[in-house]
Structures are given as C-alpha cells and as structure tokens.
Amino acid sequence: MKTFGCFSRKSFLLGFGSLSLLSGCSLLPSLHAPLPGNRAFIVYWPPATNSHQLKLAVKDNIDMKGVVTTAGSQRLARGTACPFGPSKAKPADKDAPCLAIARQRNVQIVGKANLSEFAVAPSGFNEYFGTPSSPLSISRDLLPGGSSCGSAVAVASGMADVAFGTDTAGSIRVPAAWCGVVGLKTTHGLVPIEGIFPIEPEHLDTVGPMGKDIAHTVQGMDLLQNGFASLYAAAVAAKPLAQEIRIGRLTLSGTDRPIDQAVDEALARTGFQVVQLDDSVRKEWEQAKQDGNVIAAAGAWISAKKFRFKVGIAARTKTAIRAGRIAYLTSYKEAVARQPQWQNTLKEIFKKVDFIALPTVQTPPPLIPPNLKIGILEARVLQLQNTVAVNFAGNPALAVPIPVRDEDVPVTSLQLIGPRLAEAQLLNAGRLVEAAVKK
C-alpha cells in the first residue's frame, strides 16, 4: 500500500508538470493586454477621495449581481472561444450569499480582485490578466502566491482595507504570506459557498477575509459571520495575555532555516507557552498534506473537467485539470477515507494545546518566471506551502506576517491553526503576535 501511494504521488506530480504539452488552442497568444498598474483588480471602481467607508475587494470567483464572474479566465471573461470575438459573457444574476452582510451595511466594494484561472494555480500566475507582483520587494517581481493573489495585493497596496478570498488548499494564507498581510482560512462550512466558482466544495472550499492587520481582518470576518465582532471581543476578554495560551510548535522538514527561526522568535517574543509536537504528529501532517493535495487536485477535475478541451483556457489550467483526473482515478477515494482519522488527530492535539504553530510557507516568494505554459511551477509551489493539511481537516487557520532576517524579503508568515469554529480565538492570538513583533 505504501509503495502504491508513493507511485500515485509521483505520477500526479509528473503529470502536473508534463500534461500541459497537450493544451491545444491555449498555446496561442492571449491577445489581451495585461491589466494596468499592479494588476490587483480585474474590475476596479475607485472610491471617492474623501470617503471614510471601509473599502472591500472581492475575489472574482465570487458572484456579484450585475458583474461578470471571470474566475480569472479569458473564456469566462469574453464568453467566447478562440479565435477571439466580442464579449458575450453574462453578468451574475445575484450576489453570492457571502456578500449579504456587506450589502446590508453599505460597505464600499471597490472591485473584483484578480486570481489564478479557476483558482487552481497556487503560484498566483495569470497569463491572461497578468500576474500581480508581491509588494515585498521593490526591485524584483516576486510571485504573490495564489490563488487569491489580487485580494492580497489589493490589501497590501492600500487599494482595499479588507478583501474576501477563497481557500481550498491555502489560497488565502499563501498570498497573505507572500504579500505581507493577514489572512484567515475559516472553518469548512461556516461561511456559505454558494455562488462561488467551485474547486472542491464538499471537503475543502472556504471563504475568508484578508486585511492589512488583525483589526481589519476582524472587520472582514464580521462581514462574513453575523455577530463576529462580539465573539472576538469575548475571546480578547477571556485570554488577554499570551501567557495564558498554549502553543504546539510543529517543525517540518524542507523549511528555510531563517523562516523557522523567525517563527520561534515571534512565539517567544509574544510570550506563549510553547511545547514541541513530536515526530508522530509530523508524520501524520505529511500524510494529510499529500491527501489534501490529492483531493484539491481531484476537485479541479470534478468541477472543471468540462473545460479541459475548450479554447480560451490557459495551458497551466488544463494541466491542473488533467492532473486532477490522475489524482481522482488513483488516490481520491483513499485520501477521503483518511479524513476522519486526521480530524480526530487534531481533536486530540487540541485537548493539550490551544493552537498549533508553524510557518505558512517554507520559503520567501520566488521570482515571477517567464510564462513557459507548464505546470512545474505549480507543482513546486504546492510543496512549499504548509496549508492544505488544515483544509483537509476543515479547521480554521490564520496567517500573520512576522519579521525574518532576510535582506531581500524582510517579512515571512506565522500560521496558527485552531479547533473548529475558533476564528475569534485565533485572531486574538494573532493580535498578541502582531503587538509583540512590532515592539
């Protein structure tokens, strides 16, 4: 069984890196001028200069009444196939339910944020609309992380105070980490996902907020869950000091040493009670990461297989869809069967600690490469993120920027994982980290 699992994973990654050679019409030039400026938005509605309203960006796989939901795709944006013709795309008939509170409160929505096509590329690369650069370097164009790349860049650049993203395998936390902002992956099932272009809604898909700091992320969460501000206030009152919070530190192989050091320093400066989690947890985490990646990949096949031969779809997206077929046929059922065991493992850990801490990503953001229209980049980024195991469990997790001793990119990200429905408690812990690392 172990040998078969290893074979399946190798087959999946090999398929991811090579299937794009069969991408047909998507190998033609896109004939679309990339978005201007920082490419954070597919559609942008500049706010009034003197407006003091909260500015909200919405990832463009979330339906908004009267606006075309592109999901980052040329085909959906234009409503036609190549050869290219005039747009016939149909605007959404109604808002996704996750926008209901924002609408009730008259929040100023400033645009639909850019993303990887169909939200399947963890790098944040988008060859049709253009790839937003991470703002963590002014001299080099760095990958923003995906798929909620535009949401993260919009917040980091100040074009939005808060953004809504979606997270299937790390799509909020990875761009938050590589753009230096806060990102919250919510408990699976807490926020409605109807009206959102799906990847794997049954087991993984979630909606969550991103903000430039904890306070704004709390505001964003309060737009997704009625009464959240009160839950957060109660969490702060219950544990106002870091010394009352127990952290299980998970150390994983493959992480850059300065990033691990940055996480340990941030935890120590904050003053948490920190205990090391043992090797058995690390082994189970690695299995959960493999299973989560399989389910996410298979989800791309389940949700988007009708596009695998369509024109106007990027080569790397077709790669993800076809690799998902391999994952679905070889490993999907076995991975889903292991989900309850992993969920139970985390339940047992949370009887001993309040949260689990580890780096959100293993390295700083790499350079944006030339568009070689292949999936090797995406397969590599999948291995760099420490996020999908959380989606596999359905638990919430928070990515918080922390300083790192790196001359080129001075910020990395601490990930805190909590029990189900512990969003308020996570943000309280994030508040304490944020205050400590700023001293």
Catalytic annotation, residues: 59, 147, 171
Contact in structure between 437 and 180 (CB atoms under 8 Å):
no
CA–CA separation, 340 and 332 (whole Å) = 14
What order of strands is seen across the sheet that includes strand 41-44? 41-44, 108-113, 55-59, 162-167, 206-211, 182-185, 397-403, 411-417, 355-359, 246-249, 273-276
Strands (E), 90-161: 108-113
Cβ neighbours of residue 228 closer than 8 Å, sequence gap 6 or more: 218, 221, 222, 423, 424
Distant-in-sequence, close-in-space partners of 225: CB < 8 Å, separation ≥ 6: 190, 191, 231, 423
Q: What residues form DSSP beta bridges with 211?
A: 162, 182
Q: Return the closest-CA partner of residue 74 out of 311, 298, 414, 257.
A: 311
Residue 142 · residue 174 · CB < 8 Å: no
Host H or E run for residue 279: helix 279-304
List, in order, residues 6 or more apart from 42 with CB less than 8 Å away: 35, 60, 70, 72, 77, 111, 112, 113, 114, 129, 150
- Alpha-carbon span 19 to 346, nearest angstrom: 36
How far apart, in Å, are the Cα atoms of 202 and each of 148, 189, 323, 391?
20, 9, 19, 11
Which single residue is written with the structure tokens 């919405």? 58
Closest CA to 265 of 278, 274, 256: 274
What whole-number distance in Å separates Cα of residue 254 and Cα of residue 382?
A: 13
| Alpha helix stretches (DSSP H) within 305-438 | 315-330, 332-337, 339-349, 376-384, 388-393, 423-438
E-strand stretches of 214-354: 246-249, 273-276
> What's the half-sphere exposure (Cβ side, CA atoms, 13 Å) at 215?
3
Tell me the torsion sign for CA atoms 328, 329, 333, 335: negative
How many C-alpha atoms does 235 have within 13 Å on its Cβ side?
22
